């Protein structure tokens, strides 16, 4: 059993069992519970790191239960059901240890340049926000708004198949590639959708993502979307999948084009303007400054990363294969989050971009992911890949998890979070390099696998010795440089830190 400690909320649970859960639609485990507990909801909250939310849903007494939920689990057909009873008992055992709320409520409302958001969570411009019905269901589920799939006045020619992925445990996407293009609806069809959504959901934010082929088209599209009821205009300067060389990502790699087309959009609308930029540049700051010169009020970042996810070694074709051929496509999902955080950090720390709204995206699945973007300076977050895999329902744990965190810390509103970690990212010359933080082994937790020894010997500084009889590692502090590779590879979370030493030598 792999048990993980959540140090922020002092919560222990069996992550390996929760990771097995298939997150079923209409979960049979919930239907089978004799006490009518939301078993599926509890497992889903744990899956998305919403520990406080899982605890709040625990209304059943499992000690003497014969676990009919496990018998109902769809994995029971292979005799490997999720050990639901064990997980529920783990949760129940943690209830006395959960932190007391320091605030009764937390205000999750945000804004984009004066446009109010009920919460910071938006659908990003993609297939997940490409029709009236999809946006309606998302709004009803609790999403604050949606960046509609990019509106354009030229026809789209989609390929099939158009997706490929890199998968982790439980078949979950670690990375996701798409070669999809823009909205296949006409401008008139899309603006009618905007009008209908605005009438039925007056408190939701409709972000009209647009792309033109010249200045006149950018101006005209902005004006039409504003007239139809859009709340914000987002300029798609970053789609990597266009057939023409003078659209999408090509614009996002040119300061001159960004400034010119942003100015064209400004001539067509009085709404707030976001420039959606590409990560396929060395430095995004000059592109953001160009957007500001053109009249942008904020930046959306990042769009997808140019990629090839893999090659089918049987057919010897790059993926996804379209009649034996493929193209470079846009990469998203958890794998790109570190890249996205880097760009958000760069933008938020740029002195020339003060007061510009940052809408962050790239690999967000849980409330913790979203919180990291907010802490580095984003004022809202946009999500696609996680919705494609898990559905609009993830909004429950995004809202619940972020609210629970804020209440547990006594943070009344998002202003107490946004940018809170931005100052901790400094230049290479400013990082402290005079001390070594040594690892400390917890032998009670240690299983004696020797993974730390192998990694230190072959990938570190040969500072760990391993006794094969006692199966215990021992640190040689004279050789240790405090890189902490051993802590990262330990499957038992049995290595902590306690000692700091003055760095030896120059």
Write out pLDDT tens, residues 244-277. Answer: 667 778 898 999 999 999 999 999 999 999 999 9
Choosing from 60, 225, 239, 446, the catalytic residue is: 239
pLDDT at 2 over 60: no
Least confident interval from 84-98, 191-205, 218-232, 264-278: 84-98
pLDDT at 3 over 60: no
pLDDT at 1 over 50: no
pLDDT given at position 506: 58
The CATH architecture that domain 3-97 belongs to is Orthogonal Bundle (1.10)
- 99 or 113, greater pLDDT: 113
pLDDT digits (tens, 9 = 90+) for 377-422: 999 999 999 999 999 999 999 999 999 999 999 999 999 999 999 9
- E strand spans, 283-410: 298-301, 305-307, 311-312, 317-318, 329-332, 357-361, 380-383
CATH 3.40.50.1820 is right for the domain spanning 110-153+181-309+333-424: no
Instruction: For tokens 């006045």, name the residue.
Output: 153
Q: How confident is the model at residue 341 (pLDDT cuts 50, 70, 90)?
A: very high
Contacts of 424 (CB under 8 A, 6+ apart): none
Strands 464-467 and 472-475: antiparallel
pLDDT at 489 over 70: yes
Q: How far is CA 133 from CA 23, 128, 129, in A?
A: 23, 10, 9
pLDDT at 6 over 50: no
Average pLDDT, the chain: 92
Q: Which helix (H) or strand (E) holds 150?
A: strand 145-151
CATH assignment, 432-502: 3.30.70.20
Q: How confident is the model at residue 7 (pLDDT cuts 50, 70, 90)?
A: very low
**Most trustworthy range by pLDDT among 68-77, 282-291, 429-438:** 282-291
pLDDT given at position 505: 61
Contacts of 396 (CB under 8 A, 6+ apart): 41, 45, 53, 141, 142
pLDDT given at position 405: 93
DSSP tag of 471: T
Q: How far is CA 144 from CA 6, 109, 141, in A?
A: 29, 9, 9
pLDDT digits (tens, 9 = 90+) for 184-193: 889 999 999 9
Q: How confident is the model at residue 205 (pLDDT cuts 50, 70, 90)?
A: very high
- Among residues 57, 50, 114, the alpha carbon closest in space to that of 399 is found at 50
At 229, list the tokens.
Answer: 């009821």
3-state secondary structure of 437: strand
At 90, list the tokens.
Answer: 């783990």
- 499 or 468, greater pLDDT: 468
pLDDT at 314 over 60: yes
Q: How far apart are CA 132 and CA 148, in angstroms?
A: 10
Domain ranges of the chain: 3-97, 110-153+181-309+333-424, 432-502
Least confident interval from 13-27, 127-141, 479-493: 13-27
pLDDT given at position 249: 85
Q: How confident is the model at residue 304 (pLDDT cuts 50, 70, 90)?
A: very high
Note if 239 is an active site residue. Answer: yes
């Amino acid at each position: 059993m792999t048990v993980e400690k959540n140090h922020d909320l002092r919560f222990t649970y069996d992550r390996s069992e929760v990771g097995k859960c298939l997150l079923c639609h209409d979960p049979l485990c919930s239907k089978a519970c004799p006490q009518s507990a939301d078993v599926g909801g509890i497992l889903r909250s744990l899956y998305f790191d919403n520990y406080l939310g899982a605890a709040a849903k625990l209304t059943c007494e499992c000690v003497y239960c014969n676990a009919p939920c496990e018998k109902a689990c769809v994995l029971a057909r292979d005799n490997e059901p999720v050990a639901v009873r064990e997980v529920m008992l783990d949760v129940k055992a943690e209830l006395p240890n959960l932190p007391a709320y320091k605030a009764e409520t937390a205000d999750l409302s945000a804004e984009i340049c004066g446009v109010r958001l009920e919460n910071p969570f938006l659908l990003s411009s993609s297939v997940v926000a490409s029709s009236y019905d999809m946006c309606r269901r998302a709004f009803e589920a609790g999403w604050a708004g949606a960046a509609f799939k990019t509106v354009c006045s030229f026809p789209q020619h989609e390929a099939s198949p158009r997706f490929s992925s890199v998968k982790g445990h439980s078949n979950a996407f670690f990375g996701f590639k798409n070669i999809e293009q823009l909205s296949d609806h006409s401008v008139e069809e899309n603006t009618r959708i905007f009008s209908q959504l605005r009438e039925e959901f007056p408190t939701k934010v409709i972000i009209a993502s647009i792309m033109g082929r010249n200045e006149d088209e950018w101006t005209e599209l902005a004006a039409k979307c504003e007239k139809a009821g859009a709340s914000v205009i987002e300029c798609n300067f970053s789609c990597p999948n266009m057939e023409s060389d003078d659209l999408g990502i090509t614009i996002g790699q040119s300061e001159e084009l960004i400034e010119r087309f942003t100015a064209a959009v400004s001539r067509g609308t009085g709404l707030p303007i976001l420039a959606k930029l590409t990560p396929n540049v060395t430095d995004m700051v000059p592109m953001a400054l160009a957007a500001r010169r053109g009249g942008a009020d904020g930046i959306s970042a990042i769009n997808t990363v140019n990629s090839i996810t893999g090659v089918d070694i049987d057919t010897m074709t790059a993926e996804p294969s379209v009649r034996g051929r493929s193209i470079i496509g846009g990469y998203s999902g958890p794998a790109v989050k570190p890249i996205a955080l880097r760009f958000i950090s760069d933008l938020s720390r740029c002195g020339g971009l003060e007061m510009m709204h940052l809408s962050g995206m790239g690999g967000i699945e849980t409330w913790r992911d979203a919180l990291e973007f907010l802490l580095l300076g984003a004022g809202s977050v946009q999500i696609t890949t996680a919705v494609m895999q898990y559905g609009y329902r993830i909004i429950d744990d995004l809202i619940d998890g972020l609210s629970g965190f804020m209440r547990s810390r006594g943070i009344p509103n998002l202003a107490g979070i946004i940018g809170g970690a931005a100052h901790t990212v400094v230049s290479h010359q400013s990082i402290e390099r005079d001390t070594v933080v040594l690892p400390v082994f917890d032998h009670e937790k240690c299983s004696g696998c020797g993974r730390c020894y192998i990694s230190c010997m072959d990938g570190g500084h040969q500072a760990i010795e391993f006794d094969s009889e006692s199966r215990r590692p021992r640190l040689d502090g004279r050789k240790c440089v405090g890189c902490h590779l051993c802590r990262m590879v330990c499957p038992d979370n049995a290595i902590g830190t306690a000692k700091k030493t003055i760095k030896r030598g120059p």
